[in-house]
Amino acid sequence: MAKVPVQFTLNGSEKAEFVEGGTTLLHALRDKIGDTSPKGGCHQGTCGACSVIIDGELKLSCLTLAETCGGTDIRTTSGLAEAGVLHPLQRAFLDAFATQCGFCTPGMIMAAKVLLDHTPNPSRDEVVEALSGNICRCTGYEPIIQAVLTAARANSQNAA
């Protein structure tokens, strides 16, 4: 099958790859570009572990074709820390012991980031709603919810 050129920005850096038609963005990110922070859980859009941010919107990279991402701005969890300083969400997840096995964590953090980008001071219900597409098999939702609320408070204090 003929390969298709695709160019996009990943965490601020230009990336160019040749991908086969039908290649998912998840596969392109993990196996071609080497960003393994999006995880492949169900590969059919039901677990949320592969979530990434494309042009500011939360997307499931396992259901997104890489060839449709030309010219987009893609963000993953591996690009959140700046100059070695963890993003407030990452810090809050660590402090709240919001990871157990850690497989759902990157997807949870992506979903939480899109929430906080649009709703800086979410209610608990809004956090639950934002995370409802992400499965945590360790069933550790409570500390995850608390971590997102803590990160939101930290952000609003910094802004004040």
Q: Which residues bind another protein (CB under 8 A)?
A: 42, 44, 46-47, 97, 100-103, 127-129, 131-132, 134-145
**Nearer of residues 20 and 142 to another protein, judged by Cβ:** 142
CA 93 to CA 150: how far, in whole Å? Answer: 9
**Nearer of residues 24 and 72 to another protein, judged by Cβ:** 24
Q: What is the DSSP letter of 87?
A: P
Q: What's the closest the beta carbon of residue 58 comes to another protein, in angstroms?
A: 15
CA 130 to CA 5: how far, in whole Å? Answer: 33
Q: What's the closest the beta carbon of residue 45 comes to another protein, in angstroms?
A: 9
Q: For strand 3-10 and strand 57-60, is the pairing parallel, antiparallel, or unpaired? A: unpaired
Q: What's the closest the beta carbon of residue 1 comes to another protein, in angstroms?
A: 27
**Nearer of residues 73 and 95 to another protein, judged by Cβ:** 95
CA 128 to CA 93: how far, in whole Å? Answer: 15
